[in-house]
């Protein structure tokens, strides 16, 4: 919203208002406290999520490290009286594709390989742009953050498949399926990316835009 008298952009922060991160209520903190609590849900109020960039980088770095063993180590081990077969994510996708289940293979590949990698790269782009105080495409970056949050839950599809297969095969006596070490690493990657998305504050994207606009307006006013 723009102030018609000064031409500056009026934001909640410029008016001393805080948005509750839990329920979204826009409220004014108590005078005797810098932030205070939300009057509706009693959650602590913060102008911005504290240490947002640092915590997001920490979660992303851990997720990048675990992403390698998650794809290289076996995610599922099939044991029988005659053999032991270990399958990684990609070998499972290849097996499904060769056996004729191409739609399922594409679904597993999308949910277990493409989506986690997309989330890592997208969050890296968002965090880096905020840290560099970039003013590039703020609306598109906000949409990108919302997309990352929306698709996050689908990354756990591979873990659900392993759990379902294990439950079904355990009913038989000649075979047994167990989750491999890759499943733990993969689950950790999913959790870490969810934590990274939760710790990132998308309002930081617009702080640099508002600051630049205010500076430009003040400069134009001085010239006039």
Tens of pLDDT, residue by residue over 136-172, are 899 999 999 999 988 876 666 666 766 666 665 555 5
CA 76 from centre of chain = 26
Residue 130 lies in a domain: yes
For the ranges 24-28, 57-61, 183-187, the lowest mean pLDDT is seen at: 24-28
Residue 215 lies in a domain: no
1 and 17: one domain? yes
96 and 194: one domain? yes
Cβ atoms within 10 Å of 153's Cβ, excluding its own:
12
30 and 68: one domain? no
Q: Which residues contact 108 (CB under 8 A, 6 or more apart)?
A: 89, 92, 93, 96, 157, 158, 161
Most confident of 68-72, 205-209, 215-219: 68-72
162 and 201: one domain? yes
Residue 135 lies in a domain: yes
Nearest in space to 200 (alpha carbons), one of 12, 22, 49, 60: 49
134 and 39: one domain? no
60 and 19: one domain? no
- Sheet of 175-179: strand order equals 84-87, 76-80, 175-179
Q: State the angle between helix axes of 52-72 and 181-199 in degrees (0 to 180), rounded to the nearest 10.
A: 160
| pLDDT in the model for residue 29 | 72
For the ranges 48-62, 81-95, 177-191, the lowest mean pLDDT is seen at: 81-95
Q: How far is CA 138 from CA 14, 24, 126, 135, in A?
A: 19, 20, 10, 6
Could you give the CA distance from residue 75 to residue 183 in angstroms, rounded to a whole number?
5
Q: Model-level pTM greater than 0.75?
A: yes
**Structural domain containing residue 12:** 1-47
Most confident of 20-34, 98-112, 114-128, 209-223: 114-128
Residue 216 lies in a domain: no
Q: What is the CATH number of the domain that holds 152?
A: 1.20.140
| pLDDT in the model for residue 91 | 87
The string of pLDDT tens digits covering residues 64-109 is 999 999 999 998 877 766 777 788 888 888 887 988 888 878 888 8
| pLDDT in the model for residue 221 | 46
Count of domains for the chain: 2
32 and 127: one domain? no
84 and 131: one domain? yes
| pLDDT in the model for residue 131 | 93
116 and 67: one domain? yes
Residue 217 lies in a domain: no
42-67: burial string, b at 16+ Cβ within 10 Å, e else: eeebbbebeebbebbbebbebbeebb
The residue to which tokens 């617009």 are assigned: 206
Longest CA span, the chain:
87
| pLDDT in the model for residue 200 | 94
68 and 84: one domain? yes
């Amino acid at each position: 919203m723009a102030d018609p008298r000064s031409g500056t952009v009026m934001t909640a922060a410029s008016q001393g208002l805080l948005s509750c991160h839990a329920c979204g209520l826009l409220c004014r903190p108590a005078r005797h406290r810098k932030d205070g609590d939300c009057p509706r849900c009693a959650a602590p109020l913060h102008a911005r999520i504290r240490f947002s960039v640092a915590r997001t980088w920490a979660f992303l770095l851990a997720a990048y490290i675990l992403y390698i063993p998650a794809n290289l180590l076996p995610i599922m081990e099939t044991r029988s009286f005659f053999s032991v077969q270990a399958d990684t994510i990609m070998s499972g996708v290849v097996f499904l594709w060769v056996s004729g289940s191409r739609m399922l293979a594409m679904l597993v590949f999308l949910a277990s390989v493409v989506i986690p990698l997309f989330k890592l790269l997208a969050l890296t782009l968002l965090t880096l742009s905020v840290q560099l105080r970039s003013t590039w495409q703020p609306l598109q970056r906000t949409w990108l953050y919302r997309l990352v949050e929306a698709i996050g839950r689908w990354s756990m599809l591979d873990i659900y498949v392993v759990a379902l297969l294990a439950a079904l095969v355990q009913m038989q006596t000649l075979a047994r399926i167990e989750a491999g070490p890759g499943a733990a690493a993969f689950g950790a990657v999913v959790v870490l990316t969810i934590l990274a998305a939760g710790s990132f504050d998308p309002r930081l994207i617009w702080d640099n835009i508002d600051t630049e606009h205010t500076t430009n307006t003040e400069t134009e006013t001085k010239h006039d």
